[in-house]
Structure 1
Amino acid sequence: MSSRQRSLAPMVGWGQALPLFVQGAEVVNAARAGASSRSFLERGRLQWILENIAPGDLLLVSFGLIDMKPGRGRFTEPFGDFQWFLRQYVHGARDRGAHPVFVTSHERRVFDEHGNMGRPLGLYPTAMRELAMSMSVPLVDLNEWSVAWWRQAGPEGTKELFLHLAPGEHPNYPDGVADNTHLRGRGATECARYVAGEMSAKGLLTPEYFRDLDAHVPESALEFLDDRVFEQLTEARVGGRDVPAAGATW
């Protein structure tokens, strides 16, 4: 869901596209590429949010794509420390009068040779659903929605949603790219539209805060951060203690 800098276009996070469907409220996308629920908290990024969040704000929390990756500092067990870390986001927001909202991660683009779609995120969406129910946290199930869409689009159609580019198709990727995790314009925009639509349907914000939920929104409407601004925000959004700048969305 991270906002992407201009040098990575046309890679787009759905959080970057969310402002296209929200009006009269500021969307602060504090998501950090490559962050898990663990690393985002341990590197002080949740603390920065909690230092700046205000009563009545919504805190959208979406993890799982990186939590599943092995290695120290990022990996979590779905029904173990993944849920433990998610609880810290919930308690932190509620202690400040803000309202946490869980958003399950969209699925990766994984198909076998017969065109059958895989579910590599495994139990992480299920673990988030379970915790949402037990803690009475509103849930936007982007994962299940994305699975239905990816299956319908199939192995070829999903290439238009993910960062799949032929050599020479875009100057930022002269050799081409086949990325089955990160979205580009249409994929990110439609994911953001779904999240905004669910926020509206669940009454998380009143109807006047939403726009264009049923309208065509061109990819040209997406905005990319200047690389220098992106780096400045990355370094600045660490709170609580002196920690290295690395690592997710408010």
Structure 2
Amino acid sequence: MKRHLTAVLLLWLCAAAAAWAQTTLPAAVNTDPARAQIVLPEPANPRLPSLILIGDSTVRNGRDDGQHLGAAGQWGWGNPLAALFDPARINVVNRAIGGLSSRTFLSAGHWQRTLGYIKPGDLVLIQFGHNDSSAINDTSRARGTIKGVGDESQEIDNLLTGQHETVHSYGWYLRRYVADIRARGATAVICSPIPRKSWDAAGKIVRNRADYGGWAAEVARREQVGFIDLNELVARQYDAMGHDAVMRLFPQTTPDEHTHTNLAGAELNARTVVAGLKALHVPQALAALNDAGQAIPAAEDERPVVDAAKVTAEQPRDAALPTLFLVGDSTVKSGGANGAIGWGERLAPYFDPAKINVVNHAIGGRSSRTFLTEGRWDKVLEQLRPGDFVAIQFGHNDVGRIGDPAAKNRGSVPGTGDETVEDTRPDGGREQVHSFGWYMARYVTDARAKGATVILLSPIPHRDAWQQGRDFAGYAQWDEEVARKGGALYGDLTMTITNAYRSVGATVVDTYFSDARTHTNDAGARFNAERVVETLKALPGNPLAAYFRR
């Protein structure tokens, strides 16, 4: 009996100590932020849905009090974000902790405690990156993660904690959070880290497309979750405001502070988060915005759907000649919108007009799915003749989540299988959505039945995804599989351009784009058109050899 009472007492003491550590110990108890015991908020009304934030000090700074300096102190954007929501409709729960990385928020147990508050219907915003570039193992903070989004890992004996630890990549930790959130029946949205107060040689705010901003986007794309590109969206606003105005968004008492904003800067960032949530059409968030939140416009979609009524369909110039038809999205034909030019608009000069027509049927904002469902493929088939060629490139818009209004009903099911997913159209009608491979196979079958040669091209890489690994790995694999099974040709345009980008370097490549990550300008379109020609010439048998200019 005595032994039983002793065991019960020990269990009670352990539980009490854990609860006390979670709620009462000040941050000053431990200088290691990964082990700091601080007071974190909990959902005020468990019956309401919750908007839960996890991240670092740019989301919740210190004790969330501005270091007793009021608006002039350091603030994370999670604090003013709460002021844009109605507390009678949603809990805004800022569980971010200063000094942590995607790794240490998990390894120190903060994520496990936060998971206990996540329930079905909740929304979780994830923003890490500012501290992930730190040392992986040292006696100071030991918070770094492996660069990139891969599955590589590193075994360490942590010099700070004294524990053996397996350290993963930045992307691995983000994927872990997404998986756990989904398992709870909640919705995850990944945010790229806000930009620092740092300008490049051209006077523009430095972006993080090549590292944490780009990696966050890549994870969101692979996991098919919402993504708010805070890094780019805030940087654009900073560029428009100018140097002096940006300086006023950071603490004036510490002019060298380049990461943490004052309250005015945090408010700008919070408004940008809401603009991003509106662009994603996240229902939990939209339904709970107060008047101030409702007044914020949605972030601009850099992948707009071009109005088909304003696009004149091209015709073969000489009906006596064979034709090379181009089918795809805005990366193939942008028409100069916002300075964007697709590679298909710069391809014709490489072909002899006395021997072949080049007709560009691509249109912005389309996917393998919508190019078919809108009847645009039927128009191509009407023009196809035996001996013609069709080059098809889709993928950029197929990544949209089915059922998410922000995806504009253009997402396709990943893979090449026969499975379907039902989607609700804006008019209330139902659509059975097929896989990317299903749509591509349909194009191959239809065109070959007309006597045409079909060439499937993997998508051009994003501006922020060519330096590490490869972009569009899944779509390239699915294109290749469809081509092999259906009797079409396949060209890995993604890697042809990626390798060419690597040869000229990031400084040059950045001058090839008209926006943050997708659309090329004229110089980029010309560069990529050359790569398309390289890809076509490398096809088995070089079927277009007779038609190139000498």
Please report the TM-score for the alignment, with normalisation by the length of structure 1.
0.75
The structure-2 alpha-carbon separation of the partners of 1:6 and 1:199, relative to structure 1 and needing over 3 Å to count, comes to: same
Aligned with residue 78 of structure 1, among 148, 152, 170 = 148
1:105–1:8 distance in 2 versus 1, CA, 3 Å: farther
SS of alignment partner, residue 178 of structure 1: coil
Q: Secondary structure of 2:287's partner?
A: helix
**Are 2:302 and 1:202 aligned?**
no
Q: Does 1:97 align with 2:176?
A: no
SS in 2 for 1:46: helix
> Residues 207 and 93 (structure 1 numbering): CA distance in 2 closer, same or farther, change over 3 Å?
closer
Larger deviation: 72-81 or 32-41? 72-81
Answer with 91-100 or 62-71: which moved more: 62-71
How many aligned residue pairs are there?
Answer: 206
Sort the Cα spacing of 1:7 and 1:34 in 2 relative to 1 into closer, same or farther, 3 A: same
Cα deviation, 1:29-63, whole Å, max 9, x if unaligned, reads 00000110001100011111112211111111001
Alpha-carbon offset, residue 114 of structure 1: 6.6
* Residues 1-250 of structure 1: pairs in structure 2 closer than 5 A: 1-3=59-61, 4-9=64-69, 10-23=73-86, 24-72=89-137, 73-76=142-145, 77-80=147-150, 81-111=169-199, 115-119=203-207, 122-165=210-253, 176-204=254-282, 205=284, 207-211=286-290, 212-213=292-293
Cα distance, 1:121–1:160 mapped onto 2, change above 3 Å: farther
Q: 1:145 to 1:110 in 2, by over 3 A?
A: same
Distance across 2 between alignment mates of 1:122 and 1:201: 24
Do the aligned residues in 1 keep the contact of 2:208 with 2:214 (CA within 8 Å)?
no
Q: 58-67 or 71-80, which moves further after superposition?
A: 71-80
The residue type paired with residue 143 of structure 2 is R
Distance 1:121 1:163 in 2: 26
Letter in 2 for 1:26: N
Shift of 1:141: 1.0
Cα distance, 1:208 vs structure 2: 3.5
C-alpha displacement at 1:193, in angstroms?
A: 1.0
Matching residue's letter, 2:287? E
Unpaired stretches in structure 2, ≥5 consecutive residues: 1-58, 151-168, 297-550
Q: For residue 21 of structure 1, what is the amino acid of its counterpart? A: L
RMSD: 2.1
| Contact 2:126-2:188 within 8 A present in 1 as well | yes
Stretches of structure 1 that go unaligned for 5 or more consecutive residues are 166-175, 217-250
User: Which whole-Å CA distance do the structure 1 matches of 2:111 and 2:285 have between them?
Assistant: 26
CA distance in 1, matches of 2:285, 2:118: 20
Superposed CA offset, 1:154-194 (max 9, x none): 332211112233xxxxxxxxxx5531100111111111111
Deviations 1:218-242 (A, max 9, x none): xxxxxxxxxxxxxxxxxxxxxxxxx
Contact kept? 1:35, 1:66, Cα under 8 Å: yes
Per the TM alignment, residue 97 of structure 1 is displaced from its structure 2 partner at its CA by 0.9
Deviation at 1:201, TM superposition (A): 3.2
The one-letter code of the counterpart of 2:262 is R
Q: In structure 1, what is the Cα distance between the partners aligned to 2:277 and 2:220?
A: 15
Contact 2:67 2:74 in 1 (8 A): no
Identity across aligned pairs (percent)? 31
Counterpart contact for 1:21–1:210, Cα < 8 Å: yes
Asked if the contact 2:234–2:272 (Cα under 8 Å) also holds between the matched residues in 1, the reply is: no
Runs of 4+ in 1 over 6 A off after TM superposition: none
* Structure 1 residue 120 displacement after superposition: 5.8
Whether contact under 8 Å (2:75, 2:263) holds in the other structure is yes
What SS is found at the alignment partner of 1:100? strand
> Contact 1:163/1:180 (CA < 8 Å) preserved in 2?
no
Measured at CA, do residues 6 and 115 of structure 1 come closer, stay the same or move farther in structure 2, by a change above 3 Å?
A: closer
**Which structure has greater helix proportion?**
1
